[in-house]
Amino acid sequence: MNNVQQDIDERSNLTSLNKLELLLFRLGGDAEGNHSELYAINVFKIREIVAMPHVTPIADSHPHMLGVVNLREQIIPVINLPAVVGCIPVAGLKLLLITEFARTTQAFAVEAVEEIVRLEWTSVLPGDKTASGALVTSIAKVDGDVPNTRLAQVLDVESILRQLHSSEEPDVDADTMGAPLNLPEGQVILAADDSVIARALIENALQAMGAKYVMTNSGKQAWDKLEAIDIAAKKEGKTARDKVALVLSDLEMPEMDGFTLTRNIKQDSRFSTIPVIIHSSLSGAANENHVNGVGADAYIAKFVPIELAALLRKTLAKNTTPQKRG
């Protein structure tokens, strides 16, 4: 029991150490059955792993949808992950990864599960620094910074879901997003997200609200941008707070996660008054408690643009400071 509790405590503390755990799995090889590569997903998104049960096909569903399963009286859609990625399972689809994120539950069929590894986010390279495709957010150096380390492709499962359900996407335009944000002159919203799909949705939402913004691909890029903004602001006799109205950050990001980014902002006197909203697909009380613990001003689930717009207005209104008059 003590070992179990210790494991739970260590896992809970990962967010304070800029670390993560990845589940490594395989999907099969290429058309010749070769090159069975390692893929990964954040353990925080995994509810459980089960042996492949009977799957009921659904009429007129997406080609990559295998159907649905009844797991403890819950009907869960099953996605053929090798088909999505372009792999051919050699041993067949043996396991289901049951995942919970972005307010949804779904199962990803895989060929085999390898292990769970614990890494620092600094061992995860952003997709824009690699030759990664749209379905891969980053490349993890599984064995750390050692020669010939194994590499795992961290899949953008949010992008995969959006591709499968693109017809259900809500409209994001000026009519649906409401009145413009009307940021003070010279201020921007600084956003950070490593998902191509999430960045596109954020940009569409901010554009629909008429807000100026700066988009970055990771917590590290956002932090570097904040420091650059602070240096430029000082040359004008201003502060970073005069230039940045709000920071909107994902949690799972290579090099520096959203927990660490938020903690750095709130513990630095240059930036501590800038409001931070966490915008993440990771849900649940534990993650929200961690978000509160690092000092974020608010938390909201991804992919609900109208709710995001409402929270942006509320947070900005609460943190607006009167403009100085000459």
The pLDDT value recorded for residue 107 is 96
Question: Taking Cα atoms as reference points, which of 85, 78, 88 lies closest to residue 32?
Answer: 88
Q: How far apart are the first and last CA of the chain?
A: 66
Please, which residues have CB within 8 angstroms of residue 1's CB and are 6 or more apart in sequence? none
Contact status, residue 292 vs residue 286, Cβ threshold 8 Å: no
Beta bridge partners of 248: 191, 277
d(CA 172, CA 307): 12
Confidence of residue 28 (pLDDT cuts 50, 70, 90): confident
Half-sphere exposure of 38 (CA within 13 A, CB side): 18
The pLDDT value recorded for residue 222 is 97
228-255: average pLDDT: 95
Place of tokens 């980053």: 138
211-238: average pLDDT: 96
Question: Taking Cα atoms as reference points, which of 99, 147, 156 lies closest to residue 126?
Answer: 156
Identity of residue 28: G
Tens-digit pLDDT profile for residues 242-282: 999 999 999 888 889 998 999 999 999 999 999 999 998 77
* Per-chain mean pLDDT for the chain: 85
Given a cut of 50, whether residue 13 has pLDDT beyond it is yes
Place of tokens 């690699």: 130
Given a cut of 60, whether residue 8 has pLDDT beyond it is no
Helix (H, G, I), strand (E, B) or coil at 176: helix
Given a cut of 60, whether residue 4 has pLDDT beyond it is no
The pLDDT value recorded for residue 168 is 56
φ/ψ of residue 7, rounded to 5: -65, -40
Confidence of residue 113 (pLDDT cuts 50, 70, 90): very high
Look at the pTM and tell me if it is higher than 0.85: no
Strands 244-249 and 276-280: what pairing?
A: parallel
Confidence of residue 5 (pLDDT cuts 50, 70, 90): very low
The pLDDT value recorded for residue 318 is 85
Other C-beta atoms closer than 10 Å to the C-beta of 208 total 20
The pLDDT value recorded for residue 48 is 93
Identity of residue 126: P
Please, which residues have CB within 8 angstroms of residue 102's CB and are 6 or more apart in sequence? 158, 161, 281, 283, 301, 302, 303
Q: What share of the chain is helix, strand, coil (3-state, %, to 5)?
A: 35, 30, 35
Beta bridge partners of 78: 67, 107
- Could you tell me which residue, 137 or 29, shows the higher pLDDT? 137
Confidence of residue 302 (pLDDT cuts 50, 70, 90): confident
Q: In what order do the strands lie in the sheet with 74-80?
A: 46-51, 95-101, 104-110, 74-80, 65-71
Tens-digit pLDDT profile for residues 162-196: 778 765 556 677 777 888 888 988 999 999 998 88
